[in-house]
Chain A
């Protein structure tokens, strides 16, 4: 699986309240999450997410189990997230909804070209290549299917 996009760089310990605040959870309307993603962190960020690969510091997605967080990023157009580590519930949630994650420590500048090859376990940013921690075969299968729901439906 290959993913490309422009880098949007974020600091460490981005929590799920920063990704999508609790006050926007009470809806099924995904466009609400798309509009308000990262609102409390940087109100202009949402507009730069279409086609982006987020390159963040460690512990991305810590905090609550709200699956609206990865969903908000996905509907905003984020293609993948790269970080040295992820909070574990966020990690499962993202894979389950078909949003690829890559564990790697790599420097970046906003706008850098990012290429990820998930099956080969490699990431390239602005010409520099690094290994990423491999995903389990089950996770790769789920991502290839587009998430748990389509994976489930394919198998039944």
Chain B
């Protein structure tokens, strides 16, 4: 039986195919170069405006006049051509596409490496650069080399203080930063049904950190119910009935809370081993861990207490933020002393808000801890939300087990 990539791209691994793209999206960071290149193509046409999304999230609201000018130009392009547009404050592109837009079986291209997040829906979703995207905007098509697939087989359920992020960091460490280059990951096994959509989005989000083209779950009852809430009636995908050339088993019950230490995502240590390292900043948010479940888990730990280190919370979208406002999560976070950012990427890329200084350490729930990413001379440690919450209360790295 073919892999999910082979089914969706309709061909066999290794084959080069030209395919229509069901949804294409850019953000304010990659949109400008996409627009420039699209203009250079000289057709003046957008093939399918209803399928092209421009979502402002990277530097929002604009931080200076250069950014404002670039955003102004991109906004006008989107509006003039009738593209699907989300202005500042709407949320992070991958999250917005995951709020009832991306559907099982679709081919999705995003001008951002974490487009693989949407593989959580059983879509073939992958990141492309600005020039590829310009050609997609103009023609509606692109080419793919159908990837080989690596199977990650989950059994059991997460327990103790471990969450989906710990599982994600653990598999990235097992495969290594280039362990899946040019290939796709499939997450399968009995352990999958216990993972919520929010957890699956986190797990797929990290797949590019192994070099993978995408990481996918087969759409099941959990997917169906999630999309139903957005008014999308979707079918479930036949589960895989195959073995993979390369397989990695993971017993979810054995996953422990871990931290990826600066500057590599694939270098993890048990949180316990790093306990006591003093922190300068904690950041909870991003396309990895800025969803409602994340905010609410963090709030449950800090409720009625005060954080001992500057703590920045970035809800991944407006609807997440407004749900957090409705349920009281937001006021718990504010009362505990957290700083709330508008929905967007914020500190994740070190270009706007929450930048860290030389020699500072930030514990972040994001997906990349590359040198200088959040600020020159600063170090980034990546963790789960539970670890971030326990650490916020103590002001130093703290195991979630020690708090709950």
Contacts and interface: CB of A to CB of B under 8 A. Distances in A.
Contacts of B115: 65
Contact of B41 (A25, A26, A149): A149
B36 A17 contact: no
Nearest to A68: B33
A138 B143 contact: yes
A97 B131 contact: yes
A5 B244 CA distance: 42
A93 B178 contact: no
Interface stretch (A44-52, A81-89, A110-118, A123-131): A81-89
Given A62-B211, A67-B30, A68-B33, A87 B43 contact: no
B371 A59 contact: no
Interface string B126-154: 01111110110000000101000000000
Nearest to A22: B349
Contact of A93 (B41, B66, B131, B372): B131
B135 A148 contact: yes
Interface residues on B, range: 35 or more
A99 to B, nearest CB: 11
Interface in B153-182: 177-178, 181-182
Interface string B167-210: 00000000001100110000000000000000000000000000
Given A13-B177, A96-B132, A148-B131, A67 B33 contact: yes
A31 interface: no
B181 A87 contact: yes
B372 A21 contact: yes
What are the nearest 8 A-B pairs in CB distance? Answer: A93-B129, A59-B178, A96-B131, A67-B129, A67-B130, A22-B349, A65-B113, A17-B370
Given A17-B368, A149-B37, 9 more contacts: A26-B351, A28-B32, A28-B70, A40-B372, A65-B30, A67-B33, A67-B131, A87-B211, A92-B128
Interface of A: 13, 15, 17-18, 21-23, 25-28, 40, 58-59, 62-68, 85-89, 92-93, 96-97, 136, 138, 147-149, 152-153, 156
